[in-house]
Structure 1
Amino acid sequence: MSEPRNTTPHALRHPIRAKGEPRFPGGPAADPAGSHHERRIRSFQPRRSRVTAGQGDALQRLWPVWGMDIDGHRVLDLDEMFGGLPVVLEIGFGMGEATAQMAADDPGTGILAVDVHTPGQGNLLALAERNGLTNIRVANGDAIILLREMLPPRSLDGIRVYFPDPWPKKRHHKRRLIQPDFLTLAAQRLKPGAVLHCATDWEPYAEQMLEVLSAHPHFENTRDDGGFAPRPAFRPLTRFEGQGLDKGHKVHDLLFRRVQPQD
């Protein structure tokens, strides 16, 4: 005998949300910074994809504890947020597996992980709870607003940008995150000696990163030969990266230290 057809109206099975209403009440906001910030070219695009039951549960339970929206209305007290730990900002963490691994391997460092991908936010929160990781905070929104308006000068012990969108079409290169203006802003928030660590498997973008980082007066290459660095042991090999390597992609790491400019 066939199962009875579900005759519940679609609107009741999948309630329609008003524009701007969050998918998870008490969770990450749909547009945390609102319209009071200037319109500019973004380096990211929010992706719509299905949130699993486990991810949704983590968002609703754990967002008030370990999550925050990037609204641009306040300056964060990182010492209070992380109990005095040194703090590294990670921009773009995907599904969060590598972030969770780095947090587990180095519990003495706080990771402020920023992304706009709701399933990834829920997944990272779930991983943090499952593995007892109290040194992770998950931020939702635009990393530029976070850096510019919510972090004090010289408050970060590092910045990680792993596999950002390469925007491969020439007309989209202006959307790439690693640009001179971004580096100037990042330098203002990094402590002297802190490292900006980038990784990409898109070779033309790697070359551009190397060029703009090498030319910036606030950064110096940690490599004496001025080139790319081998993958450091603390950066886990992600599933995405492994798939790329299987296809013959070459991954480039760049580690540049924050320095004082010469007068």
Structure 2
Amino acid sequence: MTETAEHRPIRSFHPRRGRMSARHADAHVALWPRFGLTVPDGDRTPLDLPALFGRTAPVVLEIGFGMGDTLAAMAAADPARDYLGAEVHTPGIANLLALVGDLDLRNVRVARGDAMELVHKIAPGALDAVHVFFPDPWPKARHHKRRLIRAGNVALLRDRLRPGGVLHCATDWPHYAEAMAEVLDADPGLERAGADRAGRPETKFERRGVLAGRMISDLRYLRRF
């Protein structure tokens, strides 16, 4: 049966391909078979994280990693944990794979597709942390329903965290920061853990926001139980 418009999931992203450099194309061809994971829409087959990484270790999920610089830097500085990044932008995926090769990162895996479809495949309590850094703010009121940080998504993300696990969000849009805080504060299973960066590296995107006069907001929450 053909999926109708009313039953399609509300996407929090615009799928983009973009052009890749020769370096990125080479990295994608060489490293995707080992480090890549495609996330088909509607496939809820459970994801075996120890099998994916080849070991049992705490797992951090980053949703929308952009060009992957932050994820690669955090994974390189934190080899005891595994990092799973989800993105739909092909040049960003290829850039992260190039960084994985350059830095010889064994604790990174790269997922292409809708991050919330990926989250559905992850077992409850399986994640040590979830990072949502500078998601699309969808500033127009009619597009707010597309924002990633909304009640239903937050409940699902919290369910995938272990008790004590961290949901760390960051944005350079003040109105989105306020909306994020309202949604996160309202979730009964989360409690605020502070507004510091907590080891999050500064990104080029973030520096551009600061130069444009926008304040950076970090929102960190713990799963209570």
TM-score band by shorter chain is: over 0.9
Q: Distance in 2 between matches of 1:74 and 1:147?
A: 11
The answer to whether the aligner puts 1:54 opposite 2:13 as a matched pair is no
Aligned to 1:145: 117
Q: For 1:133-184, what per-residue CA distance to the aligned partner results, in whole angstroms no more than 9, with x for missing partners?
A: 1110000001111111x11111111100000000000110110010110011
Identity in percent: 51
Report the counterpart of residue 214 of structure 1 in structure 2.
185
Aligned position for 1:118: 90
1:127 is aligned to 99
Does residue 239 (structure 1) correspond to residue 224 (structure 2)? The answer is no
2:172 matched residue in structure 1: 201
- Cα deviation for residue 48 of structure 1 reads 3.3
1:92 maps onto 2:58 in alignment = no
> Are residue 230 (structure 1) and residue 201 (structure 2) matched?
no
For structure 2, the 5+ residue unaligned runs are none
The structure with more helix, counted as a fraction of residues: 2
Counterpart AA for 1:89: L
- Determine helix, strand or coil for the equivalent of 1:48: coil
Query: 1:9: which partner in 2?
Result: none
> What's the TM-score once normalised by structure 1's chain length?
0.80
Q: Which runs of 5+ in 1 are unaligned?
A: 1-34, 224-228
Larger Rg: 1
Contact 2:136–2:147 (8 Å) recurs in 1:
yes
- Alpha-carbon distance in structure 2 between the residues aligned to 1:118 and 1:131: 20
Structure ranking higher on relative contact order (CA contacts 8 Å, 6+ apart) = 2
Query: Would you say 1:107 and 2:79 are equivalent positions?
Result: yes
Equivalent of residue 192 in structure 1, options 163, 175, 193: 163
Tell me if structure 1 keeps the 8 A contact 2:44–2:117: no
Partner of 1:258: 223
Shift of 1:51: 1.0
Match of 1:39 among 8, 12, 21: 8
- For residues 108 and 17 of structure 2, the distance between their equivalents in structure 1, rounded to whole angstroms, comes to 24
Per the normalisation by structure 2, the TM-score is 0.94
Instruction: Report deviation, 1:59.
Output: 1.1
Amino acid at match of 2:70: A
